[in-house]
Amino acid sequence: MTYKCFNCKDEIPEKLIERRIICPSCGSRILIKTRPEIIKKVKAL
């Protein structure tokens, strides 16, 4: 799971914010959890 900064929209790996929830790029504390997109296969008729 990765996080995304709300301010600069930079993706932050989970390891970087184990202790501090803060963006290393801009210092914003507002981070959004991003879930990996699940690609569902659509059955072709």
What residue ranges bind Zn ion (CB under 5 A)?
5, 7-8, 10, 23, 25-26, 28
Is the Cβ of residue 28 or residue 45 nearer to Zn ion in the bound state?
A: 28
Cβ-proximal residues to 23 (8 Å cutoff; 6+ apart), any chain: 5, 7, 8, 10, 12, 29, 31
Structure-block tokens of residue 25: 């790029």
CB 7 within 8 A of CB 28: yes
Is the Cβ of residue 10 or residue 17 nearer to Zn ion in the bound state?
A: 10
Is the Cβ of residue 11 or residue 36 nearer to Zn ion in the bound state?
A: 11
Q: How far is the CB of 11 from Zn ion (least distance, A)?
A: 10
